[in-house]
């Protein structure tokens, strides 16, 4: 709570204690802001800038990165915006929405998917072949599936493109049976593979950076909620049920 309050104070000071209301619907002003911001930051697309919950400010989203810009395009704020009345972290909601949109649009045939007979939930997990807790999670795959949890893996070698883990990830992706290859790789066992286009590993890695992960495993719920770290099967099922009930 103390950390949230500190972020709130910083936000309130920069916003001049603005009242949280729905931003005015002014298409002309929004377009001016979009043009100015995208001109200053070429990597920010105009569609990534939209009205914010605070009048006179606009939201900028790039993956899970959320910031706010004043209507005149002069001031930029990066931090969490909290609705005290509703006790809601509005910035985290925006991050979740971005993660959900990104991962729901990504085709499953470009992931390594383990599916239960009866699916109750689905999560996307960024995994490193050599990560200790990633291996622990994977060793309990049958238990996750028994809970009705579909596991959609994306390969995220934490140490980057020149690491041994990256090479292993590419070999897993180029195997005919990727599910079996991933299991064997996490057990330090050899598996059949061949030459192929391994660029999907780079795509997964870039997506991991966009969703804002801080380590592996990183578990993303369907609504974009990010859980950093390992959760045992029953705990993950409970977290998913609680999230669905919100």
Distance (Å, whole) CA 186 – CA 136: 9
Over residues 175-205, the pLDDT tens digits come to 999 999 999 999 999 999 999 999 999 999 9
Binning pLDDT at 50, 70 and 90, where does residue 161 land?
Answer: very high
Interval 209-231 mean pLDDT: 94
What is the enclosing helix (H) or strand (E) of 44? none
Binning pLDDT at 50, 70 and 90, where does residue 234 land?
Answer: very high
pLDDT of amino acid 116: 98
- 182 contacts 165 by C-beta, under 8 angstroms: no
Show the domains of the chain with their CATH numbers: 2-92 (3.10.450.70), 104-245 (3.40.30.10)
- 100 contacts 145 by C-beta, under 8 angstroms: no
- Of 221, 14, 48, nearest in space to 124 by CA: 221
Radius of gyration of the chain (CA): 21
Quote the tokens at residue 198: 């391994």
How far is CA 99 from its chain centroid? 4
- Of 70, 63, 65, nearest in space to 91 by CA: 65
pLDDT of amino acid 29: 87
DSSP conformational letter for 47: G
Residue 126 backbone dihedrals phi, psi, to 5 degrees: -85, 120
Percentage of the chain surpassing pLDDT 70? 90
pLDDT of amino acid 194: 97
Over residues 123-142, the pLDDT tens digits come to 999 999 999 999 999 999 99
Residues 6 or more apart in contact with residue 8 via CB below 8 angstroms:
80, 82, 84
3-class DSSP state of 84: coil
Over residues 14-70, the pLDDT tens digits come to 443 343 344 446 888 888 888 888 887 877 888 888 888 888 899 988 878 888 999
- 189 contacts 180 by C-beta, under 8 angstroms: no
User: How large is the greatest C-alpha to C-alpha distance in the chain, in angstroms?
Assistant: 61
How far is CA 53 from its chain centroid? 22
pLDDT of amino acid 62: 82
């Amino acid at each position: 709570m103390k950390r949230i309050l500190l972020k709130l104070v910083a936000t309130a000071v920069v916003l001049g204690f603005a009242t949280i209301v729905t931003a005015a619907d002014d298409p002309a002003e929004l377009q001016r802001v979009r043009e100015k911001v995208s001109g200053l930051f070429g990597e920010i697309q105009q569609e990534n800038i939209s009205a914010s919950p605070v009048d006179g400010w606009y939201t900028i989203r790039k993956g899970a990165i959320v910031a706010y810009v004043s209507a005149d395009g002069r001031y930029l704020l990066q931090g969490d915006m909290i609705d005290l009345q509703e006790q809601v972290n509005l910035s985290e909601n925006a991050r979740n929405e971005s993660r959900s949109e990104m991962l729901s649009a990504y085709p499953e045939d470009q992931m390594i998917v383990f599916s239960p007979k009866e699916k109750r939930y689905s999560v996307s997990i960024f995994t490193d072949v050599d990560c200790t807790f990633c291996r622990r999670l994977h060793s309990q795959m049958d238990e996750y599936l028994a809970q009705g949890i579909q596991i959609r893996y994306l390969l995220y070698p934490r140490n980057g493109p020149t690491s041994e883990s990256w090479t292993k990830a590419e070999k897993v992706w180029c195997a005919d049976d990727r599910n079996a290859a991933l299991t064997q790789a996490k057990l330090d066992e050899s598996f059949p593979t061949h030459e192929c286009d391994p660029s999907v590993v780079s795509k997964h890695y870039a997506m991991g950076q966009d969703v804002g992960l801080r380590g592996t495993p990183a578990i993303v719920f369907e609504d974009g909620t990010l859980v950093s770290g390992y959760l045992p099967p029953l705990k993950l099922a409970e977290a998913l049920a609680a999230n669905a009930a919100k």
